[in-house]
Amino acid sequence: TVSVLYWKNTTMKKATVFGGGAFGTALAFMLAKNGFAVSLWHPNQAECDAANAAGENLHGLKGAKFPEFGGRRALHFSSDLETCISNAPEVVIFAVPMQRLRKFVVDRRDRMCATLQSAKIAVIACKGIEKGTSKLAYTVLEEAVGDVGLVRARAVVIAGPTFARELAEFKPTSFTVAAHDATLARTAQRLLSTADGQFRGYASTDVIAVEVASAVKNVVAIAAGMVDGMGYGRNARAAVITQGLYEIALVSRTMGGVFGGVLTMAGVGDVMLTASSKLSRNFQVGRELAQGVDLKAAKKNRNAVSEGVPTCEAVVQLGRKLGLTLPLCEAVYSVLKVEKTPQQALAAIRGLDSAPLCDE
């Protein structure tokens, strides 16, 4: 029998993932392959017990068996924070839903600060923009921790074409890791990449571009899903994706990122994957909306959070604050608010007098 508590005593490197959903679990698989014993914090103890007993995440990534090394399981679920951080993890990953990140950290601020101080890197895997404040995850973490210097010394953002299922199946995957400090970004690249190149990180210092891309791509995916659901074809979907990439680049540049930052794994790479695959939760939400399913039912059909729905409102609010014209994001928002049908929203984009791409 494999001990689910072995990681407390193992000499393997330690890592902790906050958030036991599909993506958090998949990132734990990636860390395990790189020699880490990983504890995953998840708020539901009954689901933690079920995962530990079955050796797989039954509520988020069913069928993907936890990795084992030398007869020892590399992952352990727990709803007890102290259990998850008691061994001073070297790597910490924040993979809770974006709209819950601030409260999660604020409610545990002292322990979060202590954990960050002892860790080598803290990886932000939350994707989206905070509703109400229009702030990106890195800024939310800075404010929630209350120590900007500590966050800047530890935090990196990860994004890229990383479907959880394929990560858990150890299929070749590339991603971007970004930090304000180049040395920290390189450290994260080394800790998260595998020697065989199966998991390959690319270091960046353009935190804003990476965060904007990882957030807005989910909105683009909803739009692309609507196109697919209406049977408009690949030409229309490519046009929608191109418009989405432009809006990502525009928001990024206006916020201080590099306009060309979209040409990364976090930008083009993630958008191409998320906005063109039926494995994408956000793409599927868009398809169902186009086929007449209401938003509440479409969201209920997903086992995990479709971040594009809350992010869409947040990015529209952000665009308006910045004085930007974001027709694709506005169109998706009008559908989510039931002000327009998907057909009307996409027709409005096609009816623009001039394509925004021509303005550059």
Point out the residues that are catalytic.
217
> What is the distance between the alpha carbons of residues 106 and 94, in angstroms, rounded to a whole number?
13
- Cα 99 to the center of its chain, rounded Å: 12
5, amino acid identity = L
Number of residues that make up the chain? 360
- With b for 16 or more beta-carbon neighbours within 10 A and e for fewer, the 13-50 pattern comes to bbbbbbbbbbbbbbbbbbbbbbebbbbbbbeeeebbee
> What is the distance between the alpha carbons of residues 21 and 125, in angstroms, rounded to a whole number?
12
> What is the distance between the alpha carbons of residues 321 and 300, in angstroms, rounded to a whole number?
31
Q: Hey, what are 341's tokens?
A: 């049908």
Q: How many CB atoms lie within 10 A of CB 149?
A: 9
> What is the distance between the alpha carbons of residues 339 and 219, in angstroms, rounded to a whole number?
17
From 213, 175, 208, select the one nearest 311 (Cα to Cα): 213
Q: Which residues pair with 326 in a beta bridge?
A: none
Whether residue 26 contacts residue 168, with contact meaning beta carbons closer than 8 Å, is answered with yes
